[in-house]
Amino acid sequence: MTRIDLHTHSAVSDGTDPVAQLVEKAAQLGLTTLALTDHDTFAGLDEAFAAGIEYGVQVVGGFEFSTQLGGVSVHLLGYGMDVNSVSLNAELSKNRAGRKDRIPAMLAKLAQLGMPIDSQILAEQVGDSPSVGRPHIADAMIKQGYIESRREAFEKYLGASGPAYVSRYSTPLTKAIDLIHQSAGVAVIAHPWSRETKPALDEQTLAWLVQEYQLDGIEVDHQDHDAQTRSELGKIAGRLGLLATGSSDYHGLGKTNHDLGCNTTAVEVFDELMARIADKH
């Protein structure tokens, strides 16, 4: 049976599984296809492709683009693009710099709140990741006993309304879609109706993104979407001609209730996604 998970994260960004271990786990769970979509980086893809050959899993090259639309954070999944694209890599580097540059200010705010973060402990959470982010701070907070989970860290301190939050640069969504297409990739909005993103991504806006920027798809089956949301998004995808994908958004121990393969993409949708990639190349 074909089982396809198109949204996963490794320790290269804010997941906890090393890349090869992630692919091996996918094989053990009966997944036939896996997309590695680490945040704002392609750094784990070569290792993922090699592991896919070793464990018999089809690995699709991808990433998750940090973007914003009208000041609202929107995550955009890119698949099959040329990872050597100069313009795309320059923008991803800008996003990663935005992540890293705000870390000192966030640590200062946490210290003022009585939660100083040990630099060595934070470094251990980051490891070799080129895409440093709030989840690494959350993991350091857990390690030091300030909170019990990433969810608690974001809900109480690190989220957009939290006392330790600091804003950063994110690529405008329309520019991000264009960059993915210019790099011969396919663009799919991740969990479009999770938390604060729903008002920014209503059907009218999605239709505009399809008409003006040729948005390819939306992630419909996701743990942040309840049954009614999935039904509504599926109907919108049908009306607008969007690919409707399903994925776990797996982060290893970094995110609960997102088990690898808990949501999957239909074979016919995946075949169309791959056909679009082939056409672009």
Lowest-pLDDT range, 57-71, 126-140, 156-170? 126-140
The answer on 109 and 90 residing in a single domain is no
For tokens 């009208």, name the residue.
70
The answer on 175 and 72 residing in a single domain is yes
The answer on 20 and 49 residing in a single domain is yes
Per-residue confidence (pLDDT) for residue 74, from 0 to 100:
97
Averaged pLDDT score across all residues of the chain: 95
Per-residue confidence (pLDDT) for residue 102, from 0 to 100:
92
Residue 49 reports pLDDT greater than 80: yes
In a domain, 184, yes or no: yes
**Region 124-145: what's the mean pLDDT?**
89
Residue pair 225/218 in contact by the 8 Å Cβ criterion? no
The answer on 248 and 173 residing in a single domain is yes
Q: For the domain that residue 126 is a member of, what is the CATH number?
A: 1.10.150.650
For tokens 């946490």, name the residue.
110
Lowest-pLDDT range, 50-64, 133-147, 226-240? 133-147
In a domain, 164, yes or no: no
**Region 77-89: what's the mean pLDDT?**
98
The answer on 37 and 118 residing in a single domain is no
pLDDT tens column, 89-113: 999 999 999 989 999 999 999 999 9
Q: Which of 137, 158, 179 is the last residue of a domain?
A: 158
Q: Assign 54 to helix, strand or coil.
A: helix
In a domain, 256, yes or no: yes
Lowest-pLDDT range, 39-43, 230-234, 255-259? 255-259
Q: Which two tokens stand for residue 249?
A: 């958004």
Per-residue confidence (pLDDT) for residue 46, from 0 to 100:
98
d(CA 38, CA 251): 10
Per-residue confidence (pLDDT) for residue 209, from 0 to 100:
98
Burial class of residue 178 (count of CB atoms within 10 Å of its CB; 0-12, 13-18, 19+): middle
Q: What does 24-50 look like in DSSP terms, one character per residue?
A: HHHHHTT-SEEEE--BT--TTHHHHHH
**Region 148-164: what's the mean pLDDT?**
92
Residue 195 reports pLDDT greater than 80: no
The answer on 258 and 177 residing in a single domain is yes
More confident residue, 47 or 253: 47
pLDDT above 90 coverage of the chain, percent: 91
Tell me the residue range of the domain where 192 lies.
4-95+169-280
The answer on 84 and 178 residing in a single domain is yes
Per-residue confidence (pLDDT) for residue 251, from 0 to 100:
96
Query: Beta 72-79 vs 186-189: how paired, if at all?
Result: antiparallel
Per-residue confidence (pLDDT) for residue 255, from 0 to 100:
85
* Domain count of the fold of the chain: 2
Q: Confidence class of residue 86 from pLDDT cuts 50, 70 and 90? A: very high
In a domain, 129, yes or no: yes
d(CA 24, CA 31): 10
pLDDT tens column, 209-229: 999 999 999 999 999 999 999
